[in-house]
Structures are given as C-alpha cells and as structure tokens.
Amino acid sequence: MKRRLRLTALFLAAAMLGTMGAGCKGKNSDIAEDGRVILTVGNWPSKEADPKGYELQETKKEQFEKENPDVMVVEDEWAYDLQTFAAKAEGGTLPTIYQTHFTEAKKIIDGGYAADLTECAKKYGLYSAIDHNIVEDISRDGKMYFIPMSSYDLGIMMNTALFEEAGLVEADGSPKIPQTFEELAQDAQIIREKTGKAGFVLPTSENMGGWIFTALAWNFGAKFMEETEDGWKSTFNSPECVEALQFVKDLRWKYNALPVNSNINAAEISKLIGTGQAAMSIAHAGQADACIKSYGMDPKKLGFAKMPSGPKDHVTMKGGAYFAIPNTATEKQIDAAFRWLAFNGTKPTLTDEEKERIENDYKVKKEENNGVIGILGLSIWSEETQQRQFAKEMAAKYATIDLKNTETFNDKTGISYQIEEPMCAQDLYSLLDGCIQAVINDENADCAALLEKASSDFQTKFLDYEGK
C-alpha cells in the first residue's frame, strides 16, 4: 500500500496535539444568535496598518450583508502562515475563507484540512469555468478543494530596441523570438556583439536565481525532488540539471551574454531591461510594469515572449493564490463563502456595471502610463468565459505595448505549466543561488560538483527533516 503523503513537521506536530483533545475537527457552530450564517473572512486589512484598505473592506461588508441578509461577515486579519496554520486547522479556528499559495494546496488536501467544494462550485458556475491548467491542481479524485484567486506564468521579457539595434527583427518589424534556449543563447551573443549590452540577464540573489533556474532547468529534463516510500529525496545531482547549469555558465563564458554584475535581484532585472542595459530575462508580467513605471521605458519597446523550449521539454512556471475553505465549514458557510467571492468578482460572468468599472480602470492606467497593458498572463478562467474574453478585449483596446511583441506569450498553447517545487522551496532556491553565482564568477567552476554538494546539503539539511 502506498505510503500516505507526508506533511511538514509542523502539520504532523499539530495533528498529534489535535488527537489529545476531543472533537478538534468537529464542525463549528455556523449560526449566530440572530439566525444568520457566520462567515469569517480571513486576510482582512488592519485598521491601523492599512486604514484605506480597511475602510474599503468595511464598505464591501456592509453592502454584502445588505444584499445577503442571512449572512453575518466576521472580520479576521489572519493570513496564511505555516507556523500557525496547522494548530489553527486542528483547533477548528481557521477563517471560513482565507487565501493561500499554489504551493500549499497539496499539503492542505493531504492533511484533510480542505472542504470539498465540488457541489457549490457547480451551483455557482465555477466548476466548468476554471482554466484547465489550474483545475488539475485544485482537484483530487474528481473533487474540487480550492477556488483560484489569481495566477501568473513566466516568460521572456525583452527590450526590443536592442533587438532592432542588433538586427534581430522579422519582416514585420517585430523582434526575432528565440524558440529554444539554444537560440536564446545565440541571439544574446549577437546582441552583445552588436550593441555592447548584455543579451540576457539572470537573477542570482535573494532566492530569485534559484527560483528562475528551476523553471529553466525543467526544460532540460531536470527533476529537483521526488517523494518515495522513505520520504522526500533530492534528485538534482543529475546529468539534466548539470546540463542546465552548464547552459548558464556558457551564457557567461562562451557567449559573453550576461552582465558583469553577478549579484542581481528581481528589481535589478527590471532596471537593466527598462534602461536598455540588457535585452532579455525570464520574468513575470509584474516586472514589465516596473520597467515602465520606475524606469520610464517606452512600452512600445517592451516585449514579452513565451518561454523557449529546451532539449527535453517545453514548460514554464505557473503560480498564484487560491481561496481556501476549511473542512470544518458547514454547507451553509460554504455557500455563503461562494456568494462572498462572487460579490467580490470571483465569478466567470460580468454585469454591465462591472464591465464599465473594469474598462475605466484600463483607461486610467493607460492615461497615467501606469504600467503595461497588452500582456495576458495565465488566467484562472477558461478561454470561453466572459471574464477571459472581456480581459482580452480590454487588453487589445487599451494596449500600450505593441501586440506583435507579446503575441507568443499571450498564446497559451503548445507549452505545459508547472507549479513551484513542493518542499522547502526557498531553501532549495538559496542553494541554487550559490551554484549560479559560482559558475558566473569562475570559468573553471565544476557544474557537477556544485550540484552534487547542493543536492546533498538540500537532503541532509532540509528534506531529511520533513515529516519528522
């Protein structure tokens, strides 16, 4: 019989404590004294720390209760935190609805802490409206356990002016999009030779380097960990991962494509692209906004392309957040939670009033040059939904970017999507940061030896402690 999937040490410790008390996972009382259904909403803005957010949320609460007189909304500032989650889950004190990250879904389901939302999702039209790239991550054995809140995917951010200067343009004037990582390296080299600027920039610090490297390495066939009968095992001391790290090393020493600075964080990426000091980087759409807002880049000179394919795969990273409802919630509370979400815009349809408000937001963003319009990230909604179609319509109508420069990224076909590594991800990224910095700074660095040590350290210092 397959071993039950392991939880983190904190999850297990809380479970042990939970067995000491009676009815820790029993249903909470869901009815207030006045007969209304109690809906506790997490992530409530703090009145002291975020007075404007608090005021806005209070206004929403008042209006929601007016439209749903059978529901009492109770404020809860608690936000998802691994250090406190398990104890609250076992003690039955989680909010009725709260936010969590893509990476936490598996743990929450495995711990038995997630409510089955299937029937309510069908009732309110969400079950068939959620994008197929996301629905598999929130389901288990045909049951749905989360409601998507937001999502993103990684692509290649580009300064197209440097492509033009290097002669890397198509007949229609759009930048030549690298289809493979090999092409990316060759194009980056040409850009360096023709412009003197970095053809590619990779983050190397604050765990960003390791985070981006995992997505790059998946395309070379690298696997970073696997779950076995004996627990989680580190697996990135492999030929595939060595090949991926060698690719990074070659970008520096073979192609001379990287910046001289080897200590680069996320903010530096936007600065280098936005000020024309680098041509390409793996990034998410939010970093493109920073190029415009913080560094005054001409949006027409910014491009965003689909992640190139590697020798073994064509995959990119997806991430985002979910709304979660605990297994202690009653049917009435789950129903009230779905109504609260719909009231706040988590629904596949739009009213005329909502369309008008959304369109006005696009107008203001364009008028104030407050970021990029035209880059379509991975949506929580399937293509045929009203939400997705209206978003695409607005992006085209108010585009600040040349849509030819983002066409491949906006097309979500022909590539697969994968969430972050499941266990001790930040610790993994930190170790990989060190490997990246080593190969960028030392032409004689041994990729295999670096990954062998990092993989061993990841196992003994982190994975060996999981589930114990």
Residue-by-residue DSSP string for 148-198: EEEEEE-EEEEEHHHHHHTT-B-TTS-B---SBHHHHHHHHHHHHHHHSSB
Dist. CA 38–CA 35, nearest whole Å: 9
Spatial separation of the C-alpha atoms in residues 354 and 359, rounded to whole Å: 8
Q: What confidence score (pLDDT) does residue 133 get?
A: 86
What is the pLDDT at residue 338?
98
- What is the predicted pLDDT for the residue at 175? 96
Q: Are 14 and 90 in contact (CB under 8 A)?
A: yes
Please give the angle made by the CA atoms of 213, 209 and 196, to the nearest 5 degrees.
95
SS3 state at 249: helix
Predicted confidence at residue 369, as pLDDT, reads 87
What pLDDT is attached to residue 331?
96
Strands 315-324, 98-101: pairing kind: antiparallel
pLDDT value for 468: 53
Its pTM stands at: 0.90
How many Cβ atoms from other residues are within 10 Å of residue 443's Cβ?
Answer: 10
Residue 317 is inside which H or E element, if any? Answer: strand 315-324
| Spans in the chain with pLDDT lower than 50 | 1-27
Q: How far apart are the first and last CA of the chain?
A: 21
269-305 pLDDT, tens digit each: 999 999 999 999 999 998 999 999 999 999 999 999 9
Burial class (CB in 10 A: 0-12, 13-18, 19+), 233: middle
Contact 415, 312 (CB under 8 A): no
Retrieve residue 128's tokens. Answer: 């068939």
pLDDT of residue 262: 85
pLDDT in tens, 376-408: 999 999 999 999 999 999 999 999 999 999 999
Please return the burial class of 260, using the count of CB atoms within 10 Å of its CB with bins 0-12, 13-18 and 19+: exposed
The answer to whether residues 167 and 194 touch, using CB atoms and an 8 Å cutoff, is yes
pLDDT computed for residue 10 by the predictor: 44
